[in-house]
Amino acid sequence: MADLLIVRPVRPADYDRWLPLWEGYNHFYERTAAPEVTAMTWSRFFDGYEPVHALVAEKDGEVLGIVHYLFHRNTSMIGPTCYLQDLFTAQSSRGQGVGRALIEAVYERARAAGAARVYWMTHETNRTAMRLYDQVAERSGFIQYRKTL
């Protein structure tokens, strides 16, 4: 009998299983994470003073997905809000509930932290993921603007 999908906090020993998913995420969005960015991102998950958190979805000993999220203040509510920053699942596990399980796990942790909202962004061409997102959240209608400095 196959093991159930487990969503849990990332552990230092997960690095070699996390890294290919992190690289896949970056490749999907056609960006490159410099080695120092990858190293800093990884170290933030284990720094008690950092607001960046990471979960992995694991089944039969294989890490099938990752999610990174953080809590921050905002000007529209008193409590914290949760930004789901990165979500990625292995190609072989897509359509099997891994992404949904990771999102639901972030929802749980956000509730426990007193956050009233979880939000995220995706690229307008990410239609496959948007089919899931439309089932588990509402589109805000906001459009992102940014300027690289």
| Look-up of token digits 């056609």 | 30
pLDDT of residue 5: 96
Cβ atoms of 72 and 51 within 8 Å: the answer is: yes
CA distances from residue 145 to 43, 113, 121, 142, 148 in whole angstroms, order as listed: 29, 28, 12, 10, 10
Query: What are the structure tokens assigned to 60, written together?
Result: 């039969």
pTM (two decimals)? 0.94
pLDDT of residue 1: 44
Convert the pLDDT of each residue in 12-46 to its tens digit: 999 999 999 999 999 999 999 999 999 999 999 99
Widest CA span in the chain = 53
pLDDT of residue 2: 56
Cβ atoms of 25 and 88 within 8 Å: the answer is: yes
- Partners of residue 54 on adjacent β-strands: 68
Q: Which residues of 113-126 are buried (b: 16+ CB within 10 A; e: fewer)?
A: eebeebebeeeeee
Which candidate, 78, 93, 80, places its Cα nearest to that of 128? 93
Say yes or no: domain 6-136 is CATH 3.40.640.10: no
pLDDT one digit per residue (tens) for the chain, 149 residues: 457 999 999 999 999 999 999 999 999 999 999 999 999 999 999 999 998 999 999 999 999 999 999 999 999 999 999 999 999 999 999 999 999 999 999 999 999 999 999 999 999 999 999 999 999 999 999 888 989 89
CA-angle at 55, arms to 38 and 75, nearest 5°: 85
Q: Which amino acid is at 109?
A: R
Map out the domains of the chain as residue ranges: 6-136
